[in-house]
Homo-oligomer: A and B are copies of this chain.
Amino acid sequence: MSLKKIADMTGLSIATVSHAINGTRAVSRESRDLVEAAAKEIGYKPNIAARMLRTQKSGTIALIIPGSDANPNAGYFYMDVIMGIRRKMVESNHELIISSYDPQDGSERSLNALQILKKQWIDGIILVPSANSRGQIEVIRELGLPFVLLDRRDDDDECSCVDSDNEGGAREAVNLLAACGWKRIGFVGGNLATSTGRQRYNGYTAALAHQGKVYDESLVRICNGFSMLRGMECAAELLANKADALFVADNTMMLGAVRWLNEHGVAIPGQIGIVGYDDFEWMEMMNPPITTVKQKAHQMGYTAADMLFGKCSGEQSNEKIVLGTSLVIRKSHGTLR
């Protein structure tokens, strides 16, 4: 089951067989047929390990995401991303390894815990960094591997990123809420040390300014973990502070907020307007159907893989790609006036 075997069968040399199979140099028609027949007969499969040892390329990339036992809903976003990456991988005959780190591990070099990085193994990395992105990027840089950041932006010119226009998405969401006549629009979002968290927050404040509203700290909650429980707490607190609308920039917390409101008989969108983040089919069927900011998760994965392969084949340029978002209008935001 090796090139040598085929060489023996056909009477050709290993070199010719190798070239015939890989098309790496001219081979006579006759020899090629011979090789093909023999290969088919023994069911030849290239030995990746040997090839890898020679070429120093594995044809494998890793996706590193925050481990999401704690927040399954975030995981579902990544499922879409994974399918996008896979689409690209299939096109270029690569494999994908999934790895994850503990997002609660705030240490500078939390990625050092990843076994996958302790082996000489992968050609490149798609990373969704945590709040500690700088330390994580540093770890990867020391590895000397090409990488691209997914769902995060970093100003560092030396790195490529794909993410959504989180600020624009947030702005639209808040503007919509304002256009529905809500006066005291609250914000529930994630850690500002993360680009997604920061940008959504920025979008919120920008929209407030644009609407001529004053920023009221008591209407803002920045959370470190995303959980339904946290969403419920935030809803309770902001309501106590007389918020009449909520932009909840995470789908799990949105779920919690809606739950609390429903349980306490606060009518959505009768008494309060809600806009969420990320779009899933089930949002259509919620009580009420949730208006939300939709990201192109699948395309994000595809694009990241595409950029990474570019880097793997030597492209030097770094790109910052920003994917557009769109509002999915359902019911929870209220009614335009």
A residues apposed to B, CB below 8 Å:
1, 43, 45-50, 52-53, 58, 60, 67-69, 72-73, 75-76, 78-80, 82-83, 86-87, 90, 93, 95-100, 115-116, 118-121, 142, 228, 252, 255, 258-259, 262, 280-288, 298
Q: Please give 19 more A-B residue pairs, beta carbons under 8 A apart, in addition to A75-B76, A255-B282, A287-B287.
A: A47-B120, A48-B121, A49-B53, A50-B53, A60-B97, A67-B83, A67-B86, A68-B83, A69-B83, A72-B280, A73-B281, A75-B83, A76-B76, A90-B115, A95-B115, A96-B98, A252-B281, A255-B281, A258-B285
Bound Cα distance A115, B76 (Å): 25
Bound Cα distance A287, B72 (Å): 21
Bound Cα distance A331, B86 (Å): 38
* 13 pairs, A vs B, C-beta closer than 8 Å: A49-B52, A49-B53, A50-B53, A52-B52, A67-B83, A79-B79, A86-B100, A95-B115, A98-B98, A255-B281, A259-B285, A286-B286, A287-B288
Do residues A53 and B47 form an inter-chain contact, with CB atoms below 8 A? yes
Bound Cα distance A75, B301 (Å): 15
Bound Cα distance A79, B72 (Å): 8
6 closest A-B pairs by beta carbon, nearest first, are A287-B287, A49-B52, A49-B53, A79-B79, A75-B79, A76-B76
Question: Which of chain B's residues have a CB closer than 8 A to the CB of A80?
Answer: 72, 75
Bound Cα distance A68, B43 (Å): 30
